[in-house]
Each structure stands twice: as C-alpha cells, then as structure tokens.
Amino acid sequence: MIAATSLFLLRHAEVEARYQRIFGGRIDMDLSPRGHEQAVKLAKYIEHKKFDAVYASPMKRVQQTMAPFIADTKASPIIMPGLREVDFGDWTGLGWEQVREKFNISAFEWLSQIDQGTMPNAETGQTFRARVEPCIQQILQDHPGQSVAIFCHGGVIRMLLSIILDLPLRNMSLFEIEYASLTEVQKSPHKTELQLLNFTPWRHLI
C-alpha cells in the first residue's frame, strides 16, 4: 500500500496595514511588522518537521513569510508561479465596504463570485483551478508518501482544498484560513484526510 502524502499548506503572514481588509490578489505587497513576527513563530513551529520538499508562490508576502524558515533549515524551495494568489479583477485594491458600495454585493460572497465567474475581470473558478490544479498534481506525483510544505495564499489554499477534498470552491467559505496558518492534509490514492485546519502557531507560541 502506498503511504499517504502529507501536504502542509501554509498561508503567508499579515500584510502591511494599507492592504489589510482589501482584496489584494495580484498586488505584490510586503508583510507588516507583526507579519514578520508571525513568520518567525511559524518557522519555529515547523522547523523540526522533516519536509521532503518545499514549494512556494513567487509573491513577496509569501517569500517574506518563508524567509525565517529557510534561514533556519537551509531548505531549497521550488517556486511555482501557478501558486500565486487569485486575481480579483475589478475588486483588486477595494475594501469590503467599497465592494458593497460599487457593486451592490456583499464581499463575503467573494468565493461564490469567483466560482461562478461573475466577479468583473477577475479569474473565474475555472481559470483559477486550471493553473492551481497542475501544481498539486505535480507535487503529488513527485512526492508519493512524503511530506511537502506549500507556502502560498488564502485563496490558493481554499482552491487546493477544493481540489483535494473534491468540494465546490464556494463551499470553502466554511473554512477560515488566517494569516500565518497551517493546514495539513494527508492524501493517498484511496483516502484523503484533513488532519489540521487553520492552526496559527503565533497565537500559541510565546
């Protein structure tokens, strides 16, 4: 029997203040001072885990989140452009209230909007999946029975969960994916298990 592949899905830490509570998406922003602290605590929590491979989005907020872990472990991450955050189109740069005012829709519906392809000029659920799915397929193909860390984004983690758990993207609104959080999934050819969801080491490590 083939052992399960353990996927550790790690969201980037808190971003700089001007981009909090907005739809950042394709904006290549930096971490906040608090975000850098979160990244250090996340690295401390995972530094003793034995990852057979590390993958990451190329975006700055992910690279900065990963930096303390790389410094501690000397890991050599593989950068996958397909793991960049979803493009929110005309919602990019807007806050939650601005979305309601401009488009007369609740920003809480963002996953449904992406899934249905109704967010103006944004990636659709279909196009978003089309670039993320080959990434996870390649990772699973290359690392059967191994442990893999994937540093990426909240939207990407929800898409990965949608693919791995075979659930509609819109249903991923049931899952909170916070800054500098860890979600673990074990995936084998015959079974998929969600082992850990949205664990935030920075809340629990002093």
List residues with catalytic annotation: 12, 85
Q: How many CB atoms lie within 10 A of CB 167?
A: 14
CB 180 within 8 A of CB 205: no
CB 86 within 8 A of CB 122: yes
Q: How far apart are CA 130 and CA 181, in angstroms?
A: 25
For tokens 């807007």, what's the residue? Answer: 94
Q: Is 61 annotated to bind ligand?
A: yes
**Helix 154-165 vs helix 125-142: crossing angle, to nearest 10:** 70
Q: How far apart are CA 169 and CA 190, in angstroms?
A: 22
Closest Cα partner for 55 from 4, 23, 8, 5?
8
CA distances from 185 to 18, 168, 188 (A): 32, 17, 10
Please give the annotated binding residues for substrate, written as ranges: 61
Binding residue numbers: 61
